[in-house]
Amino acid sequence: MSKKAKSLILHFVLIILVVITIIPFLWMVFSSFKTNSEITSITPTFLPKLFTFNNYVNVQKSFNFLRLFANSLFLSVAITAIVIYTSTISGFVFAKYKFRGKNLLFGLVLGTMMIPWCVTIIPRYSMMLDFKWLDSYLAIIIPAAVSGFGIFMMRQSISTIPNEMLEAARIDGASEWFIFHKIVFPLSQNVISSIAIFQFLWSWEDYLWPYLIISSEEKQVLSVGLKMFNGRYGTDYGGLFAATTISIIPVLIVYLIFQKRFIDGIAASSVKG
């Protein structure tokens, strides 16, 4: 088979996969302009028969959408920024420093990724109660401030930075802080981008923990607000789709900003040397 034919087949398969992936998303976006009866119709439609903006107009009526949107944005950006910094600095230590128990400590960090997070909810809730952090953003930000996944990714990435480069900086009189901030951090941009995307997405869609911790409606997050469309005896699908469509905009923006470096970062972290 010629190279061109292989390429054509590969592209065809990829297009099919793209269509399969994107159709549900497009259906949701189009359905946000439909009435509920059309959405639940036995004969489903892809494009709206009767185009309506009512679902968007009523979003703010269902709950304080803008407030919750801002809360989610603040928490996601803050957690992502903190995680990037803690992951990079921890990854640097694990990759470039030698100390007793380093591998054991790194093993423990990896171990945290293997514990299902849901089993930690009750003890974490009790801790927050003891700290008097209930109904406070600290209870959401602090437990998420250090990420095992982020540390692992950064360690793998920083390991590829030549030791000679760091040694040269030390000989020139650079402090460890200077080396970290001016050499290691800029050289880790690709992996930072991939961590940023993952972490932002996880924080943005986090539901149960913020819901359990936050009591005040004005402090609540968007994922909890979206759940309000799902009532006891039925779901307001139109409202849910409209609010969800708006709520994915920040995720798309983050992905568009970081996508090139994200792809480079994933490739780089999978190859050592």
Partner 1 sequence: MKKIFSAILVFTLLLSLVGCSSGESKPSKKLETDTTKEKNLPVLGENVKFDPNILINNGEPKEVEFWVWDSAEIFQSIVDGFEKIYPNISIKIVSHPWGDYWTKLPLALQNGEGPALFCVHNSQHDNLINNMEPYDIDIKDLTADFTGAENHVIDDKVYYIDYGMMTGSIFYNKDMWTEAGLTDEDIPATWDEFIEVAKKLTKKDSKGNITQAGFNYNSDVKSMIMGLNYQKGELLFKEDGKTPNINNDTMKENMQFLLDLYNVHGIGSKDFGVTDAESFGQGQSAMVYKWGWYYNQLSNDYPDINFGVFRIPTPDKDVPFAYDRYNGESTIGISSTVDDASKEIAQAFIRYFMSNDEALKELCIKYSIFPSKKTLAEDADILSHPVLKTLSTTVDYLIWPGPFPSTIETTLQQSFEDIIYNDSSIEDSLENGNNKIKADMEGVDFSSVESQYKHIENK
What is the 3-state composition of the chain as percent helix, strand, coil, each rounded to the nearest 5?
A: 75, 0, 25
Could you say whether residue 81 binds partner 1 (CB under 8 A)?
yes
Minimal distance in Å, beta carbon 92 to partner 1? 17
Other CB atoms within 10 Å distance of the CB of residue 141: 17
Residues with Cβ < 8 Å from 165, sequence gap 6 or more?
Answer: 183
Binding span for partner 1 by CB under 8 A among 5-13, 146-154, 159-167, 212-220? 212-220
Interaction residues for partner 1, span 132-171 (CB under 8 A) = 134-137
Could you say whether residue 231 binds partner 1 (CB under 8 A)?
yes
Could you say whether residue 73 binds partner 1 (CB under 8 A)?
yes
Minimal distance in Å, beta carbon 17 to partner 1? 29
Other CB atoms within 10 Å distance of the CB of residue 134: 15
Q: Name the phi and psi angles at 230, rounded to 5.
A: -95, 95
Q: How many residues bind partner 1 (CB under 8 A)?
A: 43
Alpha helices in 32-112 (DSSP H): 36-39, 54-57, 59-62, 65-96, 102-112
Could you say whether residue 215 binds partner 1 (CB under 8 A)?
yes
Name beta bridge partners: 235. 230
Member of 54, 60, 175, 230 binding partner 1 (CB under 8 A): 230
Binding mask 185-204 toward partner 1 (x if CB under 8 A, else -) reads -x--x--x------------
Member of 15, 129, 249, 267 binding partner 1 (CB under 8 A): 129
On whether the CB atoms of residues 68 and 224 are closer than 8 A, the answer is yes
Nearer to partner 1, 37 or 163 (CB): 37
Helix 237-247 crosses helix 249-270 at what angle (to 10 degrees)? 50
How many Å apart are CA 223 and CA 245, to the nearest integer? 12
Positions that interact with partner 1 (CB under 8 A) = 36-37, 40-42, 63, 67, 70-71, 73-75, 77-78, 80-81, 125, 129, 134-137, 186, 189, 192, 208, 211-212, 215-219, 224, 227-228, 230-234, 257, 261
